[in-house]
Structure 1
Amino acid sequence: MEKLIAKARWYRLIPLAFITYSLAYLARANFGFGAASGMAADLGITPAMSSLLGSLFFLGYFFFQIPGAHYAAHNSAKRLIFWSLIMWGGLATATGLISNVNLLIIIRFMLGVAESAVMPAMLILLSNWFTKAERSRANTFLILGNPATVLWMSILSGYLVETMGWRWMFILEGLPAIIWAFFWWRLVEDKPAAATWLTEPEKQALADQLHAEQQSLKPVKNYTEAFRSRTVILLSLQYAFWSIGVYGFVMWLPSIIKAAPNMSMIETGWLSSVPYLLAIVGMLGASYFSDKTLNRKVFVWPFLLIGSLAFYGSYVLGTSNFWLSFGLLTLAGGAMYAPYGPFFAIIPEILPRNVAGGAMALINSMGALGSFAGSYLVGYLNGYTGGFGASYIFMAGSLLLAAVFTLLAVKTKPATYQSKLAVNPA
């Protein structure tokens, strides 16, 4: 019976979460292709304004994380994500219709607001369905929507920009979220108790498993107490610096590649997709072994350190060898993504359900600030220096600090909770 429970959960929920997060990531990441094409010339966007527009998303993303997580935890993650899908799909499509840079500023900020609750709401939803021994993998399959989307988006966006222009790229890549919202509403339930495809004994077995895990955690009264936790504070700082590297990379990689001699947008799209192939492999491997050992820390900080060293190596090479420099950027991109599953499994294992969602939202909101800084400052440094060396050093230093904060924040110790019901994933 346990195996039947696992198979039903994995194939019914994970594809839906993956597609939803993929569409969210598509709406935020394709701006890099608009910026690398004719968008700036058409709208009269300066390099400094382009950096601001790329980063404004994360400012809107920052402000509504915790309220969104609170609503998802105490009301309905399903309902919140449904309306978010419609909002961000509409805003992403509108990006291709405007001709005024002031409207674009508003759209970029509101797009961040619309997507702000998706990540914490999804993590809360998955924590209602998957046990401690499965959580890193469940989180990874969710967040795989990030690199997997950038992989195919990089190829598709390159072709759309080249053949139809940047406006149609935004329009055609925004509409699917609106359509998908209605599939999401029909197919997802907030908790196992509402699922018609589980039997009552199956529901009870999973509920007992999750309840036993909660009983092993020290009670925490409220968000204030949780937010004062040393681990939560350090992980918030860690995620802020980590996100500087990730989003500096995601937003500006197309521009970095396009700057190479005789590089077309189609070639830029294909090359921009390569780091995300490595990212997918790294994420699956790290999450699998993290769940097997229940050791989260050792599958986080080493990858961040590798990413830091790869950025520094690319800086040392400069423009002397494009392909070797690109290989190091590919390594940096893959290493930065690999730890996401283990990282987001940490908080539900140290904080009880009543505050875990809020703590994850706080950490994610600090990541949004890091993302804002990364996407803005990397673009600013590229424009100010006329090259990419300074931004490589900036991203390398940020990832190094993230690795250090991970070592300080997470204690490595044997798991204190042993599952009473072995619910194995398919």
Structure 2
Amino acid sequence: MQIRYDLQSDPPATLFNGVGLPAAPFRTDDFPRKNSHCPSWDDTLRRESYDNGSVSRRSYVKETSSLLVKETYTADTPLKQHADLRRRFLFMLPAVFITYSLAYLDRANFGLGAAAGLAETLHITGKQTSLISASFFLGYFLFQIPGAAFARKHGAAKLVFTALFSWGVLASLTGVIHSFWLLALDRFLIGVAESIIFPVILLLLTRWFTKGERSRANTFLILGNPVTVLWMSALTGKLIDSLGWQMTFIVEGIPSIVWAFVWILFIKDYPSQTGWLKRESVATLDAVLLAEQAQVAEVKAVRQALLRPDIILLAVQYFCWSLGVYGFVLWLPTIVRQGSGQGMGNTGLLTAIPYAVAAALMLVASSISDRTMKRASVVWPFLMMGGLAMLGSYFASGKSFTVAFLCLIVAGACMYAPYGPYFAIIPDRVPKNVTGEVMAMINSAGALGGFVGSYLVGWLQSATGGPKAGFLLMSVAVILSSLLILLLPKQAELSVQPVRI
């Protein structure tokens, strides 16, 4: 079946995959259009400059839209005919993976530093160590939404560059500072710098990848988390054994500073700003994204989106999920070292195992999600299994380290597996004019959960002298997060089938 359309008379992307859009006004503001619902070509709501000479976004789209006139599409190849669109996977995904990996390196290596004797060296208590760890999440919580709003208005790529450079410097300072309050302030500022990374890059990916590709794209971003912990656990453990925890922090802050300059040279806010995609391909991609956005209910104000019941439910759910995950990440090295009696080198290797399994399971979950488009149905079973496995570790703790550790492997893998599908739920539900702020709010709730989880797990560890109470708290939180996903209202069936490459 072949479908032909003319942009001079029809809305862009009127038909894709052989399925027609409903006759309703387009609500996106990125593409000029001319039909019974819309004004003339010149009336675009957003006119952002592009880095292709003196061509503005308005004139650029007018020019490239003419390339689509008389374009013929088959039912199964609207994007596949543009082979160079595969370059998005080769350029964008490694870049966002490395960026988030470096963010997570400078975030999670604090747990290994704490296990290596940070408190003893600085003469601070276990509760003060927990407060230093938790101060990161306070900064991470407070600046998510302002960062996303700034990125939407002024550009995402430059903001990511600033954040990379800033947290690299601050992370290295962690190894220099000896004062408790200065160290707490340093970790707070690292949280501020890193707070913009996740929502801003998720926003960036919505401009580069279609709905049928988004779960996999999100997963490559979030893989930076378990994969970093995987190699970081082993490498940082060895570095601490060789150099000490303070010099290790200094060394591990440098890569973020270097990568900031690589990022700003190669990454752009929009596909049309690059030199490695053909104009015809960019116009086709824009049209597909426009068709998908036409099916999302209009939200005119950010506040309206943030107060929607389904968004509030997702924020509460992510708070519970993150309480379990971040408590797990920050205290796993200490718990493994206490249970196994191993040195820091072997503790790092053992700690890496759950993240290796998690990385593989994340790819499986994202593939299932993009194939079925049943996001919530992929998310909640993994979280339930993760919470139950952590509960199993609670009961096995003190009886058999082997059984408890096997439960931790399952728990860690299952808690990480559904991240890609989960963050594909949000742009499926809200239009892109508010997507960044909505993802920032939900991630802020997760940061608050991380603050509560890291502090409470550490406090319970100090108060009880063992890990059992902390793991009971984390397991209950993750099980609750699984149940909350089941309360999410179902969406209407798509009238345009998702496009994949």
> Normalising TM by the smaller chain, what interval?
over 0.9
Asked if the contact 2:340/2:401 (under 8 Å) is kept, the reply is no
Asked if the contact 2:85/2:277 (under 8 Å) is kept, the reply is no
The reply on whether 1:55 has 2:134 as its aligned counterpart is yes
The residue that corresponds to 2:391 in the other structure is 312
Task: Specify the code of the residue in structure 1 equivalent to 2:374.
Answer: N
Q: Secondary structure at the match of 2:487?
A: helix
User: Which has the larger share of helix?
Assistant: 1
Root mean square deviation, CA, Å: 1.1
Q: Secondary structure at the match of 1:409?
A: coil
Shift of 1:141: 0.3
Shift of 1:416: 3.7
Q: Secondary structure at the match of 2:176?
A: coil
Matches within 5 A, 1:314-353: 314-353=393-432
> Partners of 1:352 and 1:413 in 2: how far apart?
15
Unaligned runs of 5+ in 2: 1-79
1:402 to 470, 478, 481: 481
Matches within 5 A, 1:24-423: 24-411=103-490, 414-419=493-498, 422-423=499-500
Shift of 1:176: 0.4
Shift of 1:105: 0.9
Shift of 1:207: 0.6
Asked if the contact 1:124/1:357 (under 8 Å) is kept, the reply is yes
How many residue pairs match? The answer is: 422
Asked if the contact 2:165/2:257 (under 8 Å) is kept, the reply is yes
> Partners of 1:315 and 1:207 in 2: how far apart?
50
> Partners of 1:55 and 1:339 in 2: how far apart?
25
Shift of 1:73: 1.7
Q: Which runs of 4+ in 1 moved over 2 A?
A: 412-417
1:153-175 deviation line (CA, Å, top 9, x unaligned):
00011001111100111011101
Shift of 1:102: 1.6
Asked if the contact 1:296/1:343 (under 8 Å) is kept, the reply is yes
The reply on whether 1:20 has 2:99 as its aligned counterpart is yes
Give TM-score scaled by structure 1 length: 0.97
Asked if the contact 1:59/1:112 (under 8 Å) is kept, the reply is yes
1:55-90 deviation line (CA, Å, top 9, x unaligned):
110000001000111111222110110000000000
Q: Percent of counterpart pairs with the same letter? A: 49
> Partners of 1:153 and 1:398 in 2: how far apart?
26
Deviates more, 1:4-13 or 1:199-208: 4-13
Q: Secondary structure at the match of 1:300?
A: helix
Give TM-score scaled by structure 2 length: 0.83
Greater length-normalized contact order (CA 8 Å, ≥ 6 residues apart): 1
Asked if the contact 1:294/1:415 (under 8 Å) is kept, the reply is no
Shift of 1:5: 3.6
